[in-house]
Amino acid sequence: MVKIERALISTYKKENVVDFANFLKNIGIEIVSTGGTAKKLEENGIKVTLIEEITDFPEILDGRVKTLHPKIHGGILARRNKREDMEILVRYNIKPIDLVYVNLYPFLDMAQNNDINLSELFEFIDIGGPTLIRAAAKNYKDVLVIVDEEDAKKVEEKLINGEEINEDYRLYLASKAFNLTAFYDTCISSFLQNVISKKTGKDYQTKYLTIPFEKTFDLRYGENPHQKAYFYKNSLNIGSMTTFDQLNGKELSFNNLRDADSAWKVVAEFDEPTCCGLKHSTPCGVASGKNTLEAFKKAYECDPVSIFGGIVAFNRSVNVETAKKLNEIFLEIVMAPDYDEEALRILQKKKNLRILKMKYTPLDKYEHVSIDGGLLTQEVDKDLINDFHVVTEEKITDEIKEELIFAWKVVKFVKSNAIVVSKNKATTGIGTGQPNRIWAAIEALERSKDKGAEVLASDAFFPFSDVVEKAAEYGIKAIIQPGGSIRDNDSIQACNKYGISMVFTGMRHFKHL
């Protein structure tokens, strides 16, 4: 076991450093420290060896250079079991450092301060701290590296109890150290990437993908009870799913969070009062109305079976009448930008109902999906229509155009192959995730049979005329689709035959994630 005789402590946050330093002093460990930390410790009666006493060189450049010196890093990096290393220490009168306790300048906190300019922010990029941490972690067999207050407490307990601080525990501390420095550099890289993108007006894509994700909490389990799961948030950017307030109900699960994200994205697509019922990441009923109550009733009627135990999202504040209606069925989550005071009390009568108050519309620019051994990254599908082009003899009214655009907005969020049938700005049938388009169309049209079918939206082009022919059987008046098939003319001719209007948008909306 390596004996700890000398510790270097250099911390920006000094709230809890005194207790740990005092403990080290009381068990006979010499403490080496830098300017602000040394002052804090000395004010609390803890004798400190100043860095400049060791290096025989003062802090320079307004404190930018303090610990970057061979007499410091030599003492950290020297391998105790290598004779040549120890001879170098003797030759240059360098004493080993056996413990390094460092926390870093708060770049992340300052980067979120809108009042700070770039030059000021750069002063919060720590140089010496990460270098000390990395040096100690590299020589983990001989040097304890501590970057977490909880680990300082554990090391203290081990020393009090006479426990061996073995190599495995030292490796664990080294792993946490490198994890911290990697995260710290990722914050800087991602922030600067955003700055460049804003300055140029173009998305700046680096060679290496660096996103500063920080674990917020452990989830009970993943999609299934045997899968472990965790929630990580982007520490640099705010988002709708990391800033909401939970006003009621049980803790959120993996599936809850993923489904809530999907439902919120659907209603955020609309300007008019809109409700989305969602189950297993798939919309089961979407509708717009004069108010939230009308929107909910229409969405519910689309699929009253699937919405049971699902999520209901609104893009408007929930009123009392809507809350009463929501309480008539079992739901996992209700989400909205706000709730009338009495409406919230009504919903809270169901103690397990998770009630989310959303603060932002979706903000992510990119989305990611893991594949075995890699990560796919793409821009979020934020556009809607490239060119609203009527390609049939039958033209469309303004009313039908609005209905087509409603259905087109919904189909963006339905898994491909996707077909959405709607009437009166309410989905009446949704066909999702089928391996071919005609199956999705049959599913959507059959579901719409008792509720009415006015328009049909398809997320991708028709390779054959079969969808048009099936739509005609159910009385569809108009179709919206991207166009672009080499057999587009077959579908156009079929529409002309049955008196159906058809619009090409020039934009596909596959959703496979």
For residue 394, is it left (φ>0), alpha (ψ between -120 and 50) or beta?
beta
Helix (H) or strand (E) holding 443, with range, is helix 437-447
Question: Domain ranges in the chain?
Answer: 6-191, 242-357, 389-504
How would you list the strands of the sheet with 455-458, edge to edge? 389-390, 501-504, 478-481, 455-458, 419-422, 427-431
End-to-end Cα spacing for the chain: 51
Q: At what angle do helices 17-26 and 149-160 cross, to 10 degrees?
A: 20
The residue annotated as part of the active site, out of 14, 25, 95, 138, is: 138
419-442: buried (b, 16+ CB within 10 Å) or exposed (e) per residue?
bbbbbebbbbbbbbbbeebbebbb
Task: List Cα–Cα distances, 178 to 107, 156, 265, in angstroms.
Answer: 17, 22, 36
**CATH superfamily label, 6-191:** Methylglyoxal synthase-like domain (3.40.50.1380)
Cα torsion 410, 414, 418, 422: sign: negative
Q: Is residue 229 classed as helix, strand or coil in its secondary structure?
A: strand
C-alpha 233 chain-centroid distance: 5
457-504 pLDDT, tens digit per residue, is 999 999 999 999 999 999 999 999 999 999 999 999 999 999 999 999
How far apart CA 420 and CA 429 sit, in angstroms, is 6
Task: List Cα–Cα distances, 132 to 11, 61, 181, 189, 372, in angstroms.
Answer: 11, 18, 10, 20, 35
Peptide bond into 417 cis (omega under 30): yes
340-364 pLDDT, tens digit per residue, is 999 999 999 999 999 999 999 999 9
Place of tokens 């898994």: 415
- Helix, strand, coil % (nearest 5) of the chain? 35, 20, 45
Q: Which amino acid is at 10?
A: S
For residue 381, is it left (φ>0), alpha (ψ between -120 and 50) or beta?
beta
Helix (H) or strand (E) holding 230, with range, is strand 229-234
pLDDT at 55: 86
pLDDT at 113: 83
For residue 14, is it left (φ>0), alpha (ψ between -120 and 50) or beta?
alpha
Q: What angle do CA 262, 263, 266 make, to 5 degrees?
A: 90
pLDDT at 60: 83
8 A C-beta contact, residue 171 and residue 143:
no
How far apart CA 22 and CA 32 sit, in angstroms, is 13
8 A C-beta contact, residue 413 and residue 262:
yes
Which ranges of the chain have pLDDT less than 50?
none
For residue 280, is it left (φ>0), alpha (ψ between -120 and 50) or beta?
left
pLDDT at 1: 54
Active site residue 138: yes
8 A C-beta contact, residue 358 and residue 240:
yes
8 A C-beta contact, residue 389 and residue 506:
yes
Task: List Cα–Cα distances, 58 to 47, 52, 73, 306, 329, in angstroms.
Answer: 19, 5, 16, 71, 71
Whether pTM > 0.85 for this model: the answer is yes
CATH class entry, domain 242-357: alpha beta
The residue annotated as part of the active site, out of 280, 324, 325, 350, is: 280
Give the CA dihedral 366, 175, 8, 86, nearest 10 degrees. Answer: -130
Structure tokens at 63: 């404190």
Q: Which amino acid is at 484?
A: G
pLDDT at 2: 66
Q: Where are the beta strands (DSSP E) in 20-151?
A: 30-33, 49-50, 99-102, 144-146
- Do 242-357 and 389-504 share a fold? yes
8 A C-beta contact, residue 461 and residue 484:
yes
212: nearest Cα among 240, 226, 192: 192
Task: List Cα–Cα distances, 392 to 324, 366, 474, 479, in angstroms.
Answer: 46, 36, 19, 10
189: nearest Cα among 236, 123, 132: 236
31: nearest Cα among 98, 85, 105: 98
Q: Is residue 156 classed as helix, strand or coil in its secondary structure?
A: helix
If you write DSSP's letter for every residue of 264-330 in order, what string do you get?
A: HHHHTT-SS-EEEEEETTEEEEEEE-SSHHHHHHHHHHH-TTTTTTSEEEESS-B-HHHHHHHTTS-
CATH class entry, domain 389-504: alpha beta
